[in-house]
Amino acid sequence: MIQGKPHIEFRDVCAFYGAKQVLRNVTFTVPRHTVIGVIGPANSGKTTMLKTINRTLDFIGGARFTGQVLIDGESVADFRDPNELRRRIGMVFPLPVGLPLTIYENVAYAPRRRGVTAKGELDEIVERCLRQSVLWDEVKDRLQMLGTRLSGGQQQRLTLARALSLSPEILCLDEFSIAIDPVTTMRIEDVLKELRKSMTIVLVTNLVQQARRLADNTLFLWRGDLIELSPTEVAFSDKPNDKRTYDYVNGIFG
- Domain layout of the chain by residue ranges: 6-97+168-249
CATH 3.40.50.300 at 6-97+168-249, yes or no: yes
pLDDT at 97: 73
Termini Cα distance of the chain = 26
User: In this predicted structure, what is the pLDDT of residue 4?
Assistant: 64
Sheet containing 200-204: give its strands across. Answer: 89-92, 170-174, 200-204, 35-39, 217-222, 225-231
Residue 146 is given by DSSP the state: B
Secondary structure letter of residue 93 according to DSSP: -
pTM of the model: 0.93
Q: Print pLDDT tens along the chain (254 aa).
A: 555 679 999 999 999 999 999 999 999 999 999 999 999 999 999 999 999 999 999 999 999 999 999 999 999 999 989 988 999 999 998 877 778 999 999 999 999 988 999 999 999 999 999 999 999 999 999 999 999 999 988 999 999 999 999 899 999 999 988 888 999 999 999 999 999 999 999 999 999 999 999 999 999 999 999 999 999 999 999 999 999 999 999 999 87
pLDDT score for 3: 59
Q: Would you say 245 and 220 are in contact if contact means Cβ atoms under 8 Å apart?
A: yes
Q: In this predicted structure, what is the pLDDT of residue 95?
A: 77
Q: Would you tell me how many other CB atoms lie within 10 Å of the CB of residue 82? A: 15
- Note whether 55 and 70 are within 8 A (CB): no
- Which residue, among 187, 208, 172, 188, has the nearest Cα to 85 in the 3D structure? 172
Instruction: Please tell me what DSSP assigns to residue 234.
Output: H
Let me know: does 208 contact 214? Beta carbons within 8 Å.
no
The angle at the Cα of 60, spanning 57 to 62, to the nearest 5 degrees, equals: 105
